[in-house]
Structure 1
Amino acid sequence: MPRPIRPRNVIRIGPVQVATYYDARGREKHTAACTAPRCGFSADYNSRPAAEIAATTHHCPIR
């Protein structure tokens, strides 16, 4: 059974949450995920600034 992801350093930029976590191999990863209903945007990045830029430039396709 894989270990659960434990996000830390979570911030919210508009409807998008940016968090840092460790993947299964122990590497630090950063994710950006939109919390708007029916949006479905989420992406993993190797650097925190990249995840924050993705969060600031994200526009939900569904209104």
Structure 2
Amino acid sequence: MTANRRFRNVIRIGPVQVATSYDDRGSEKHTAACTAPRCNTSADYDSRAAAELAAHTHRCPVR
């Protein structure tokens, strides 16, 4: 089942978007997702700093 999330505080760092949302348990989560074609990288983090660091250091595996 897919999560129905309402994202807020969305920023873009290169091809990666970082956003904040609440998970199904009500905890605040921060997501970093790459929007480049054929790059399916995304991850949830507990802190905004970790998500932004992941966005800054992301390298797409597909060139």
TM-score (norm 2): 0.94
List gaps (5 residues or longer) in structure 1. Answer: none
Range that drifts further, 3-12 or 48-57? 3-12
> Residues 4 and 56 of structure 1: is their aligned pair in 2 closer, same or farther, counting only changes over 3 Å?
same
Instruction: Give the percent of matched residue pairs that are identical in Structure 1 and Structure 2.
Output: 75
List gaps (5 residues or longer) in structure 2. Answer: none
> Residues 2 and 35 of structure 1: is their aligned pair in 2 closer, same or farther, counting only changes over 3 Å?
closer
| Contact 1:10–1:20 (CA under 8 A) maintained in structure 2 | yes
The number of residues matched between the two structures is: 63
TM-score (norm 1): 0.94
Q: Deviations over 1:14-58 (max 9, x none)?
A: 000000000001000000000001011100000000000000000
| 2:14 counterpart residue number | 14
Alignment of 1:1-63 (within 5 A): 4-63=4-63
Runs of 4+ in structure 1 displaced over 4 angstroms?
Answer: none
> Residues 2 and 26 of structure 1: is their aligned pair in 2 closer, same or farther, counting only changes over 3 Å?
farther
Give the CA RMSD over aligned residues.
1.5
| Contact 1:2–1:24 (CA under 8 A) maintained in structure 2 | no
